Amino acid sequence: KEGVIRDNLFFRKNKPLNPYRLADNERHLRDLDFILDSKIEVCLVDGSEDSVDVEVFTRDVFSLGFKFDPEELDAYRLDVYDANLFGQGQRIQMNTLLDATRSPQAGVELSYRKSSIGGTLINPSVGYTQINTGRSYGVENEHAYYLRLDRPLVSPYSRLAGSLEISKNYSINNYQAPDSAFRDYRYHLEDAWIGYNMGIYNTENSRERHFVALRYFNQSFERKPSQPAEITNPVYNNQKFLLGSVTFYEQNFYKTQYVYGFGRTEDIPYGKTLTFTAGWSNEFGLDRSYAGMNTAREFVSRKGNFYRLAAGAGSYFREEKTEDAFLFISGLYYSKLLVKKNLKIRQQVEGGHAKAFSNTISPLLTLNNQLQGFRPDSLFAYKRTFLRTETTVFTNWKILGFNFAGFAAAESAFYQQDPGKDAFQKFVWGVNGGFRIRNENLIFGTIEVRGFYFPITVPGIEPYSIRISTNVRLKYTSSFVRAPAFVSYN
| 306 found inside a domain | yes
What is the model's pLDDT at position 94?
95
pLDDT tens digit sequence for 168-182? 999 999 999 998 899
Which of 41-50, 204-213, 412-421 bottoms out in mean pLDDT, i.e. has the lowest?
A: 412-421
Overall residue count recorded for the chain in this entry: 490
What's the whole-number average pLDDT of the chain?
A: 89
What is the model's pLDDT at position 412?
93
Query: Which is it for the CA torsion 195, 478, 131, 97, positive or negative?
Result: positive
Res 204 pLDDT > 70: no
Instruction: Tell me the mean pLDDT in the region 76-80.
Output: 90
Phi, psi of 235 (to 5 degrees): -65, -30
Res 423 pLDDT > 60: no
Q: Are the beta carbons of 127 and 111 closer than 8 angstroms?
A: yes
What is the model's pLDDT at position 467?
87
What is the model's pLDDT at position 216?
98
Instruction: Tell me the mean pLDDT in the region 217-240.
Output: 90
Give bridge partners of residue 360 from the DSSP assignment. Answer: none
Give 474's pLDDT tier (boundaries 50, 70, 90).
low
What is the model's pLDDT at position 442?
79
Give 74's pLDDT tier (boundaries 50, 70, 90).
confident
| 154 found inside a domain | no
What is the model's pLDDT at position 14?
84
What is the model's pLDDT at position 424?
56
| 427 found inside a domain | yes
Instruction: Tell me the mean pLDDT in the region 95-107.
Output: 92
What is the model's pLDDT at position 422?
60
**Residues with Cβ within 8 Å of residue 163, at least 6 apart in sequence:** 148, 149, 150, 151, 191, 192, 193, 483
Res 66 pLDDT > 70: yes
Instruction: Tell me the mean pLDDT in the region 249-262.
Output: 87
The secondary structure of residue 417, as a DSSP letter, is -
Res 150 pLDDT > 90: yes
Could you give the CA distance from residue 445 to residue 248 in angstroms, rounded to a whole number?
Answer: 34
Q: Are the beta carbons of 170 and 137 closer than 8 angstroms?
A: no
| 214 found inside a domain | no
The secondary structure of residue 27, as a DSSP letter, is H
Query: Which is it for the CA torsion 65, 70, 71, 74, positive or negative?
Result: positive
Higher pLDDT, 45 or 347: 347
| 91 found inside a domain | no
Phi, psi of 431 (to 5 degrees): -130, 155
| 181 found inside a domain | no
What is the model's pLDDT at position 426?
84
Q: How many CB atoms lie within 10 A of CB 65?
A: 18
Q: How many CB atoms lie within 10 A of CB 200?
A: 15
| 17 found inside a domain | no
What is the model's pLDDT at position 132?
85
Res 202 pLDDT > 90: no
Closest by CA to 216, choosing from 240, 233, 184, is 240
Range of the domain at 449: 288-490
Number of domains in the chain: 1
Instruction: Tell me the mean pLDDT in the region 359-369.
Output: 82
Helical spans, DSSP H, in 290-407: none
Higher pLDDT, 458 or 405: 405
Instruction: Tell me the mean pLDDT in the region 207-213.
Output: 92
What is the model's pLDDT at position 10?
87
Which of 56-70, 100-114, 142-156, 278-292 bottoms out in mean pLDDT, i.e. has the lowest?
A: 56-70
Instruction: Tell me the mean pLDDT in the region 244-257.
Output: 91
What is the model's pLDDT at position 331?
96
| 292 found inside a domain | yes
